Structure 1
Amino acid sequence: MRITLVGSRHFGVATLNMLRERGIEIARVVVHDGEDRLAAAARAAGIDVVVQADPKVVPASDIAPGTDLIVTAHSHARVTQEAVATARLGGIGYHPSLLPRHRGLAAVEWTIKEGDPVAGGTVYHLAERMDAGAIAAQDWCFVKKGETARELWERALAPLGLKLLGDVVESAKANGAIPAKPQDEQFATKAPSLGPH
């Protein structure tokens, strides 16, 4: 199982480490910033690093040849459908909400803002529309009273994401396929950024 990992920051590094601990081959890491900690971790591990020419888009040329699966971890770039098509099993990403609820960049913040008593995470297929692809795996957790978005992410949603991504990749390796359950559009909500970027 050869993976091209597209991501950034702490969650990208945690995903890289988790996959390597499970014996999964990371063929290449794609980052939007060559100084990102994920780029540094990949270089230290001797993994090929590609910096996106456009931070908002991952084209097919950024994907390593012979990639079985593209995995995104804390990436805000759109992986083009041409790029997804280059990988034998396509691409998956982790979104910190119970999709189709809270699609967008600020899912955890909107979970807190809306006062949701339950949060969760979803591993979904990369599709043309952001966060709208079929669901591969999903799990939930309770939200503590008074918890901030950052606290919820660090306590529950990041560890949940690592577990779900690891389980889906292991399953894909064993079965040569990834589950796909379409999202129910009638329950879709948007979670746009809440502050200036």
Structure 2
Amino acid sequence: MRIMIIGQKWLGAALLRQCLAEGHQVVAVAAPPAEGIDYDRLYAAAQQLGVPACATRGRLGAADVPEGCDVLLAAHAHCFIEAGARARARHGALGYHPSLLPRHRGRDAVRWAVHMKESVTGGTLYRMDDGADTGPILAQAWCHIRPNDTAADVWRRDLGPMGLRLFSLVLGQLEGGGQMAGQAQDEGLATWEPAFSAAKLANLKV
């Protein structure tokens, strides 16, 4: 598979290494620009591994996607992947979200699940569209939230590694000829939370 990875931080860098180890060809990486002398982990990993990398500042357009790309993978990506960019890849764009979509759409899903004292959460690999975490579900898995867990605990122990497993699973299915249309999300179960801020919690009813 010819893959472009859009993302950042540990998950983006780990996904890059996993894709290469599994024999995929990563043709490009898009990551946040450097801040001062510090490069994002995905950007730095791409440079170390000889993968072409570009900086993205909130949007990814068709011109950013190389010709002949099979699929775009969004791993901790906080940029909007335009329809033209998704159309440049044979299988579109697949994103990982650390919740059991359609619950907890939004960028702070893990923090909200812990704050709401939920005992179970999970991760979802979905086909990206123009909405925020709204596309058809391709694969899901779940995990427990333990009584004293922080969001960082759940991410490091369960949800980060889960994302890598789900990417591997779906890429294997695509490579085997599967079309993976996915299952539409049930909007009657959907929730969306704003960016998490402890200072604002007193004004929110959750």
Aligning the two structures, in what range does the TM-score lie when normalised by the shorter sequence? over 0.9
Question: Which residue of structure 2 aligns with residue 127 of structure 1?
Answer: 129
Question: Which residue of structure 1 aligns with residue 60 of structure 2?
Answer: 58
Matched residue count:
194
Cα RMSD (Å) of the superposition? 1.2
Query: What is the correspondence of 1:87-166 to structure 2 with a 5 Å cutoff?
Result: 87-166=89-168
Q: Deviations over 1:79-123 (max 9, x none)?
A: 011110110010101000000000000000011011111010000
* CA shift for structure 1 position 179: 4.1
Question: Which residue of structure 1 aligns with residue 28 of structure 2?
Answer: 28
| Larger CA Rg, structure 1 vs 2 | 2
* CA shift for structure 1 position 141: 0.7
For the residue of structure 1 that corresponds to 2:67, the secondary structure is: coil
Q: Please give the alpha-carbon distance, in whole angstroms, between the structure 2 residues aligned to 1:33 and 1:100.
A: 30
Q: Please give the alpha-carbon distance, in whole angstroms, between the structure 2 residues aligned to 1:183 and 1:104.
A: 15
Unaligned runs of 5+ in 2: 199-206
Question: Which residue of structure 1 aligns with residue 204 of structure 2?
Answer: none
Q: Please give the alpha-carbon distance, in whole angstroms, between the structure 2 residues aligned to 1:76 and 1:168.
A: 21
* CA shift for structure 1 position 191: 2.4
For the residue of structure 2 that corresponds to 1:26, the secondary structure is: strand
* Paired-residue identity, %: 37
On the 8 A contact 1:137/1:179 being kept in 2, the answer is: no
Question: Which residue of structure 2 aligns with residue 195 of structure 1?
Answer: 197
Give me the TM-score of the superposition, normalised by structure 1: 0.95
Question: Which residue of structure 1 aligns with residue 12 of structure 2?
Answer: 12
| Amino acid in structure 2 at the alignment position of 1:39 | Y
Question: Which residue of structure 1 aligns with residue 169 of structure 2?
Answer: 167
* CA shift for structure 1 position 146: 1.3
| Amino acid in structure 1 at the alignment position of 2:183 | K
Query: What is the correspondence of 1:62-101 to structure 2 with a 5 Å cutoff?
Result: 62-101=64-103
Q: Please give the alpha-carbon distance, in whole angstroms, between the structure 2 residues aligned to 1:179 and 1:145.
A: 37
Question: Which residue of structure 2 aligns with residue 44 of structure 1?
Answer: 48
* CA shift for structure 1 position 43: 1.2
Q: Please give the alpha-carbon distance, in whole angstroms, between the structure 1 residues aligned to 2:23 and 2:179.
A: 18
Q: Deviations over 1:157-193 (max 9, x none)?
A: 0011100011101111111422410000000001221
Unaligned runs of 5+ in 1: none
Question: Which residue of structure 1 aligns with residue 182 of structure 2?
Answer: 180
Q: Please give the alpha-carbon distance, in whole angstroms, between the structure 2 residues aligned to 1:69 and 1:176.
A: 13
**Structure 2 vs 1, CA of residues 176 and 65 (structure 1 numbering), >3 Å: closer, same or farther?**
farther
Q: Please give the alpha-carbon distance, in whole angstroms, between the structure 2 residues aligned to 1:120 and 1:62.
A: 31
Q: Deviations over 1:111-151 (max 9, x none)?
A: 10111110100000111001000001001011111100010
Give me the TM-score of the superposition, normalised by structure 2: 0.91
Q: Please give the alpha-carbon distance, in whole angstroms, between the structure 1 residues aligned to 2:51 and 2:17.
A: 12
Q: Please give the alpha-carbon distance, in whole angstroms, between the structure 2 residues aligned to 1:25 and 1:178.
A: 20
* CA shift for structure 1 position 66: 0.8
| Amino acid in structure 2 at the alignment position of 1:46 | G
